[in-house]
Structure 1
């Protein structure tokens, strides 16, 4: 079952223009761009046949080629990473049984998150789309709540049923819990990890569907699948003591750099 990883990256982000080219300093003191760190993360994943960066911007393309990445140019009309992945696969001529969308804003994504995601989709032949979820500890949940209090959009949370199919994804913190959690406490809130695995037919169909009201309100591309009645399988992954955070806002840069330092990641 050939597997392709696509790293969609655009320069014209509404919240953080130029985000893929933002430099993040690791534990060794060396600064690497976000797109480089995303590429490095993808290259650590076992069982993958090809990795490409999909972009519509020459600055990102030049930077990616500069560190040896394969680049697929895509249209400026792509509304989100899933649409960009679909166009990239079409430009490559298809031929992959599973396509992974490793979004270029999650440099702390460990390889086993993606490996477990691929395994989860393979183990559930009835599923066409899958995404990882990570049970939060108090430290992460408190970070989400602090972002919301400050009016910032932070991480995305997920709720799912007993069959592990998603019920909803939100930039609000769901489900509600009125408890206070210490940093090391396990909580009932699941952090949605911004990675997706698709079967090719589901991915090809996605750009043909109109954007629904929930996707528009939340700004979450995966809600288009739910609004169309396509289940999204949630695959729980184990953080194994590592911290995970996406780069959503400029304020996240020092936070991620501190995590890289703490975990000893270069």
Structure 2
């Protein structure tokens, strides 16, 4: 199964303009851009044929080529990362059995998250797309609650059924947990990892549909699949002691640097 990784990177982020080029410091004091660290995370994944950065911005293109990445220039009209991946596949004429979208704001994505996703798609030829979910630990759950209390959009949560198909994704913390039960029940909340695997035909279908009502309300691209009746397979992954967090807001920079500085 030929697999490619595409990293969509957009300069004009609504919440954090210029985010892909924000520099993050690691334990050695080395500073690298967010998009470079995301690319390095993708390059560590086993069993992948190619890794590309997809962007419409010349500043990101120049930075990416500077650290050796392959770049596909995409349309400015792409309204989210999934649409940008679809545009990249079409523009570059990529021939792949599976397309992985590793979003450019997720430098802490461990290689095994992607590898587990690829394995799940290999074992489920009926699945059109899949995404990882990670059981919250106490620190991540606390970050979720702090962000929402401060009116910030932090991570995304997922709820899914016994067949592991998604029921819903939200930027709110779902399911609701009574405050008196949070101490023992936070592990029932699943953090949605910003990573997707698609069959090429699912990507092609996606861009033929207009954005759905729930997608527009939540600002979550994956809801378009659910709103058009396409099951989204949730693949539970293990943190193995690693903290996972995306860079959504400027306040996330110290959180991510703290993890980078703890890695050896």
Q: Same fold (TM over 0.5)?
A: yes
Alignment of 1:164-183 (within 5 A): 164-178=164-178, 179-181=181-183
1:96 paired to 2:88: no
Structure 1, residues 166-191: CA drift from partner, whole Å, max 9, x if none? 00000000001122338xx8610000
Q: 1:44: which partner in 2?
A: 44
Q: 1:232: which partner in 2?
A: 232
SS state of the match for residue 16, structure 1? Answer: coil
Moved over 3 A (4+): none
Q: Find the aligned partners of 1:32 and 1:194 in 2 and give their Cα distance.
A: 20
Q: Is the 8 A contact 1:181 1:187 kept in 2?
A: no
Structure 1, residues 23-47: CA drift from partner, whole Å, max 9, x if none? 0000111110000000000000000
Q: Is the 8 A contact 2:131 2:197 kept in 1?
A: yes
Q: 1:138: which partner in 2?
A: 138
Q: Is the 8 A contact 2:141 2:186 kept in 1?
A: no
Alignment of 1:118-157 (within 5 A): 118-157=118-157
Q: Is the 8 A contact 1:113 1:132 kept in 2?
A: yes
SS state of the match for residue 187, structure 1? Answer: helix
Q: Tell me how far 1:57 sits from its aligned partner.
A: 0.1
Q: Identify unmatched segments of 5+ residues in structure 1.
A: none
**RMSD over aligned Cα atoms:** 1.0
Q: Identify unmatched segments of 5+ residues in structure 2.
A: none
SS state of the match for residue 208, structure 1? Answer: coil
Q: 1:79: which partner in 2?
A: 79
Q: 2:221: which partner in 1?
A: 221
The worse-fitting range, judged by mean Cα deviation, of 66-75 and 90-99 is 90-99
Q: Tell me how far 1:121 sits from its aligned partner.
A: 1.0
Structure 1, residues 95-118: CA drift from partner, whole Å, max 9, x if none? 100000000001000000000001
Q: Tell me how far 1:139 sits from its aligned partner.
A: 1.0
Q: Is the 8 A contact 1:16 1:250 kept in 2?
A: yes
Q: Find the aligned partners of 1:59 and 1:95 in 2 and give their Cα distance.
A: 27
Structure 1, residues 50-84: CA drift from partner, whole Å, max 9, x if none? 00000000000000000000000000000000000
Q: 1:20: which partner in 2?
A: 20
Q: Tell me how far 1:126 sits from its aligned partner.
A: 1.1
SS state of the match for residue 204, structure 1? Answer: helix
TM-score w.r.t. length of structure 2: 0.97
1:211 paired to 2:202: no
TM-score w.r.t. length of structure 1: 0.97
